[in-house]
Structure 1
Amino acid sequence: MFMPELVIDYGKSQPEKVYTIFEDREWTYGEFREKAERIAAYFQREGYRPGDVVALYAGNSDAFIAAYFGIQLGGFVCAPVNTKLTASEIGYIFDHSEAKGLITDAELRETSDRTGHRFGEVLEIGGADEFGHILADESLVFQPVPLNAEDTAVIMYTSGTTGKPKGVMLSHANILATAEIWAEAMDITDQDRMQISTPLFHCAASHVFMNPVTYKGGSLVVERSFSPEKTLATLEKKDATMFFGVPAMFAILLNRPDIRDLDVPKLRLFCYGAAPMPYELVKKLKETFPDVKVQNLYGQTENTPAATTLKDHYALEKIGSVGEALPRTEVKVVDENGYPVPPGQVGEIVVRGPQVMKGYLKNDEETARAIRGGWMFSGDLGRTDNDGLLYIVDRKKDMIIRGGENVYPLEVEEVLFQIPEVLEAAVVGMPHPVYGEVPKAFIVLKEGKEASDEAILAYCTRHLAKFKLPEEVEFLDELPRNASGKVLKHALRPVKQA
């Protein structure tokens, strides 16, 4: 059985067990089965055929999850859309995917209408709540359809940090394999309650946490969004056993004065990813919650995402590492000709396994560039140590070449994170008339802290080679990020003049 079929099967085998918890509402597996089947039945009634695309442009809720599985259950393709994009960016995704139907939040309806894309059906969550009426419509009878391993189940568009976003086609087999892989890697059981505070339209929340917990028959605690006060209250009140956050979220939570008063006896695992977690932050997290394990996760949308993981026993010993290959997964570091490089040498990270995407929608050229001989070329630069653990050095496109010397921004950022006053840091290349480009550091200070650019540069001078030093430091209130928590470095670089 694939994921949509599995959640329906749980609706039969454990109908009374709570599946989703959203605000003050709980849905059991049995209730959820009915709702997912009615969504599938609605689009069947409206004449949709297997393979038709339904866009899911909505924020976090139990309704989002019902739509995600219901669309796929009918043999249709679910296309989650980032709610933080502009109307023109969203319009591109609607048009490129040829989405026939749309499920959206009432507060997002105006933006979706401004895209100009013509849909056959638009279902609104909240407001008039056409979606809610369908969930309750007993006249809708689902007609089961066969789901095939290589059928496209989900199209997820890359963040589009450079150029137009690419539509990553993920098959039912890809998504099921990823659920199995992460369930094993995180020791998930049917007793787990995963608290999801990051966007479900992103592959991390949906495919690394929602699906693996569902695969094991566990429960999901869904928040509309991350809010320090509400997130901590939910952790305590809803008995979560697992929580995922990007490093910035953990930095905010750990700086709260009430963090040590949190009573979470059932919490067993903190997961983090999307950006490097500084040593001091990992150390503080483990000191504050000595009974909770921590685990670093690494992957890309193109591998559903699942590549490597760093487990708790290595958290402080192998700081900066993203760990070892996941089950059923091969990972290696190669040179520009595709040959493996020795430990310590930098190369491109490539991944092979059942979770690697089918390809990019309507883009055979980029697909051929990304997948070669079954290996997915990630675009990430990395190295392994003598124990075989992987370290991300940087994105290939982010590497700075200063007068012929390679500068990896991540290496500079790790030094900046060691400065006690620094909350966040990002380093990008800036044009230079002599050296071609030089590093520039953007710094966000901790609340109530002060630091001068001279002090920042003095610290860097003691820990970095001269050619790696930032040429300039700029202080910001916050760093620009996409919905997955990754820093949008292109937004920090100067606009090139035509």
Structure 2
Amino acid sequence: MKSDQHTSTLISDAIFSAASICPEREAIIAPGRRLTYSALSKRIEALHIELQKHNIRPLEKIAWADVGTSHFVELLYAIGMSDAVGVPLHAGAPSEEWSMHCELCDVSTIIVPAAFMQKGQEIFARDARLQRILLIEEHNDKPVLTLLHTRERKEEHDETNKSEPGDAIILCSSGTTGRPKAIVLTHRNLLINQASLIQYMHITQQDRLLVSKPMIHSSTLIEVLSLLQAQGSIVLSPWLTARGTLAVIQREECTMSCIVPAMARELLSVITPGSEQSLLLRALSVSGSPVASQLLLDLSANLPHCGIYHAYGLTEAAPRVSALLPHELHQHSRSVGRSIPHVKVCIVDANDQPVPLGQIGELIVCGENVMRTYYGNPVETKKALRAPGLHTGDLAYIDEQGFIYLQGRIDDLINCGGQKVYPLEIEQVLLNHPAIAEALVQGQTDERLGCIPVASVVPVAGQYLEEQSIRAYCQLHLAAYKIPRHIAICTALAHTPSGKVQRRRQITESVSNVK
């Protein structure tokens, strides 16, 4: 198997290369299991053989759930080796969501552990297009696949539902603004983005990555793949508390972790500068949703020996697009950094024409990391993949040094009496308030101005918030027309399974509560 990320053709090539170069190095540390690269390669090969036994054909779509074990990673590689296409499912999602994703991606086979047999059977009974359900279990310390249910599959001839050689995985978008899209990423997309992460984060064989986010999300997935590509180690410890995170970092001597803002806030509440855990970590990456610049600066102050990275991406870009590097943080804390290696970005206007530096427009991404298609959705594919590249739907500007500053989604732009109001700008101000944990800004219809900004905020645990004090804080940091006309103080905001705020759903839930 080839080991170079530029010449490999399958993401699994890296595992077999590592098994020949460093067979006894630990690859995966998971609950109840520690695997060297040699052991991991053998388990992947065993699952590949199992898939062939069950007559899995090239380009079939195979769904399986992330339950925080080594099985998720093993199946990801084995499915790719079999020239099939993986469709990961969120373990905590209801069976209706599993069914929707299976339908969206034209799944033929679902693989479940024993704990999810009932959910798999419910889906099989509901969707007549599913061909088989397989149970994954251990036998003599080896993964095996047992057939639970099977039936003849009716062949369909819809030309929009076609996978192509090289397709690796289909990830369903988080659905923050509506029905999810099925995003097809190729082995090449993933390999290129892995190479980018390895380069800008300086990932080596000595690194040990703590993985506490669900692996079905593209940001976690590329982090896991990158560490294994670099022959490092991954430590799977899902659903950890902040103190639990510190304990695992210390026990497993983790050098890296990648977290979302909510996890970063929790970590700040328990980390002690100069502690053993803080000295072990050399890199901490924060991504996944809007991040308060003050949160990044606080992390840097409390973890002086650890490089703080702020990353931006989207699943359609496999997913990483830009990163703010540790030495850039203090001067550019409000930026999501510059484009990473192998990725190019530009800003265009409503006519898809380039705009001058500093002018706000739509952020465009170009590179071999860009998805192949939205599965079964040629209309949306054509909208997203038109010249000059991937249209992200994100508003941004780029300064003279190449730093990207996000301004929010195009669909979220508020036209307030002829003035453009960018919700993300206001949200970032609110998130810098020491007593606000989460913030959401939306437009509300207004007879006089057409649309006005309104906000929903969630206080930090144990903190008391008043609308008047929040408004006074906004007056210090925002122009008058950008200050939310109403501010609802909520106990929680609605989230997608990936932890992002569900903006469209929140419009009906929180704005209706504004008085």
- Tell whether the structures are fold-level matches, with TM greater than 0.5: yes
Deviation at 1:117, TM superposition (A): 2.7
Read off the aligned partner of 1:18 and give its amino acid letter.
E
1:282 maps to which residue? Answer: 296
Native 8 Å contact 2:110 2:120 kept in 1 = no
- Aligned mates of 1:402, 1:150 — CA distance in 2: 48
Read off the aligned partner of 1:345 and give its amino acid letter.
Q
- Aligned mates of 1:332, 1:441 — CA distance in 2: 30
Q: What does residue range 193-204 of structure 1 map to in structure 2 within 5 Å?
A: 193-204=208-219
- Aligned mates of 2:92, 2:383 — CA distance in 1: 29
Deviation at 1:49, TM superposition (A): 1.0
SS at match of 2:323: strand
- Aligned mates of 1:8, 1:117 — CA distance in 2: 37
Read off the aligned partner of 1:132 and give its amino acid letter.
E
1:383 aligns with 2:397: yes
User: Residue 401 of structure 1: which of 409, 415, 426 is its match?
Assistant: 415
1:321 maps to which residue? Answer: 335
1:157 maps to which residue? Answer: 172
User: Residue 486 of structure 1: which of 492, 495, 500 is its match?
Assistant: 500
Structural RMSD (CA): 2.3
SS at match of 1:81: strand
Native 8 Å contact 1:151 1:171 kept in 2 = yes
User: Residue 358 of structure 1: which of 342, 350, 372 is its match?
Assistant: 372
Read off the aligned partner of 1:400 and give its amino acid letter.
I
1:184 maps to which residue? Answer: 199
Unmatched runs of 5 consecutive residues or more in structure 1: 125-129, 141-147
TM-score (norm 2): 0.89
Native 8 Å contact 2:59 2:164 kept in 1 = no
SS at match of 2:487: strand
SS at match of 1:486: coil
- Aligned mates of 1:400, 1:279 — CA distance in 2: 23
1:96 aligns with 2:104: yes
Count of residue pairs brought into register by the alignment: 484
1:122 maps to which residue? Answer: 133
1:250 maps to which residue? Answer: 264
Deviation at 1:302, TM superposition (A): 0.5
1:292 maps to which residue? Answer: 306
- Aligned mates of 2:285, 2:143 — CA distance in 1: 39
1:367 aligns with 2:377: no
User: Residue 187 of structure 2: which of 172, 176, 185 is its match?
Assistant: 172
Read off the aligned partner of 2:365 and give its amino acid letter.
V
2:445 maps to which residue? Answer: 431
Deviation at 1:230, TM superposition (A): 1.4
Structure 1 residues 108 and 473: CA distance shift in structure 2, 3 A: farther
Deviation at 1:264, TM superposition (A): 4.2
Structure 1 residues 431 and 258: CA distance shift in structure 2, 3 A: same
Structure 1 residues 272 and 413: CA distance shift in structure 2, 3 A: same
- Aligned mates of 1:177, 1:149 — CA distance in 2: 18
Deviation at 1:374, TM superposition (A): 5.7
Deviation at 1:88, TM superposition (A): 2.3
Native 8 Å contact 1:179 1:215 kept in 2 = yes
SS at match of 2:458: strand
Native 8 Å contact 2:311 2:324 kept in 1 = yes
Deviation at 1:401, TM superposition (A): 1.9
Read off the aligned partner of 1:435 and give its amino acid letter.
L
Deviation at 1:366, TM superposition (A): 1.0
Deviation at 1:490, TM superposition (A): 1.6
SS at match of 2:279: coil
TM-score (norm 1): 0.92
- Per-residue CA deviations over 1:278-325 (Å, capped at 9, x if unaligned) read 232122211111110111111111010021111011112101111111
- Per-residue CA deviations over 1:465-492 (Å, capped at 9, x if unaligned) read 2221112111222332223332211221
1:217 maps to which residue? Answer: 231
Deviation at 1:103, TM superposition (A): 1.9
Native 8 Å contact 2:109 2:133 kept in 1 = yes
- Aligned mates of 1:137, 1:398 — CA distance in 2: 47
Native 8 Å contact 1:428 1:493 kept in 2 = yes
Unmatched runs of 5 consecutive residues or more in structure 2: 1-7, 147-162
- Per-residue CA deviations over 1:73-109 (Å, capped at 9, x if unaligned) read 1111111123343322221211222212112243333
Read off the aligned partner of 1:15 and give its amino acid letter.
P
- Mean Cα deviation higher: 349-358 or 226-235: 226-235
